[in-house]
Structure 1
Amino acid sequence: MTDVESLIRAVLKTGGYRLGSKSTLKALKMGEAKAVIVASNCPEDVLEAIKSYDVKVMVYEGNNMELGAFCGKPFSVAAMAITEEIE
């Protein structure tokens, strides 16, 4: 398991996250996002918008369908905002 996968598992347990590009960008605008995880095939325009904020961006090695499945969701997830500090 990679560091990013370990981080996702920890975040899923705490509930301190937002799934999806729109929710992630909203969390960034509100100053709630501590870090962002993006799928390897995250759309370029979304990635550029995320990178315009001063936040750590990590890349999940799988695609958006795999990230959604890893998060236990039946839909694709291109971006995920972490909204709580993880120890």
Structure 2
Amino acid sequence: MDIDRGIRVAVDTGNVILGSKRTIQSLKLGKGKLVVIASNIPEDLREDIEYYAELSDIPVYTHEGTSVELGSLCGKPFIVGALLIQDPGDSTILEMVG
């Protein structure tokens, strides 16, 4: 299973929070198992996400695609700059990235 498929399976079968604002809110609470950010996310958001993820000891994976590609990978008709995987469901994404 490749990373893209792992993300899609997690979105379809697990519990995933989409969007950088909601991701940062959950990171501040220490919730989540893995953060995935798009390669073109604004630098200030990237720094915030990495900072709060480090405080909560949650790994951050930078997806090679843009936020548009990450959005379509998640099956959404909008851009997704960041997502937080709380429960991977049937996905093996945590083993692939961790």
TM-score when scaled to structure 1?
Answer: 0.87
3-state SS of paired residue (1:41):
coil
Residue 7 of structure 1 and its aligned partner are, at CA, apart by 2.1
Question: Which of residues 71, 77, 81 in structure 1 aligns to 2:80?
Answer: 77
The share of aligned pairs that are identical, in percent, is: 45
Whole-angstrom distance in 2 between the partners of 1:22 and 1:44: 14
Over the residues paired in the alignment, what is the CA RMSD in angstroms?
1.7
Residue 15 of structure 1 and its aligned partner are, at CA, apart by 3.2
* Equivalent residue number for residue 34 of structure 1: 33
Answer yes or no: is the 8 Å Cα contact 1:35–1:55 preserved in 2.
yes
Q: Which has the higher helix share?
A: 2
* Equivalent residue number for residue 4 of structure 2: 5
Residue 9 of structure 1 and its aligned partner are, at CA, apart by 1.9
Q: Give 5+ residue unaligned stretches, structure 2.
A: 93-98
Residue 61 of structure 1 and its aligned partner are, at CA, apart by 1.1
* Number of equivalenced pairs: 86
Q: Give 5+ residue unaligned stretches, structure 1.
A: none
Whole-angstrom distance in 2 between the partners of 1:69 and 1:9: 10
* Equivalent residue number for residue 46 of structure 1: 45
1:25 and 2:28 are equivalent in the alignment: no
Question: Which of residues 61, 64, 80 in structure 2 aligns to 1:61?
Answer: 64
Whole-angstrom distance in 2 between the partners of 1:67 and 1:9: 10
Answer yes or no: is the 8 Å Cα contact 1:4–1:59 preserved in 2.
no
TM-score when scaled to structure 2?
Answer: 0.78
4+ residue stretches of structure 1 with deviation over 3 A? Answer: none
